[in-house]
Amino acid sequence: MTKETKTERRNKIVKGLEKAYEKMLEFKRKNNSEIVVIRENKIVKIKP
């Protein structure tokens, strides 16, 4: 695999993750549910 194909594949993966994150936020806002994240090694629930 060449360096260019690795870069292209990485860019596609990052774009897909960003799109999935946006969809998740939209879903959480619609259902008024919390998002669970880790901040400073603690589990925190956030309202979107």
* Per-residue pLDDT at 39: 94
Mean pLDDT, 10 residues at a time, the chain of 48 residues: 93 98 94 94 92
* Per-residue pLDDT at 47: 87
* Per-residue pLDDT at 34: 94
Q: Could you give the 3-state DSSP secondary structure of residue 47?
A: coil
* Per-residue pLDDT at 48: 79
* DSSP symbols for 1-48: --HHHHHHHHHHHHHHHHHHHHHHHHHHHHHT--EEEEETTEEEEE--
* Per-residue pLDDT at 1: 80
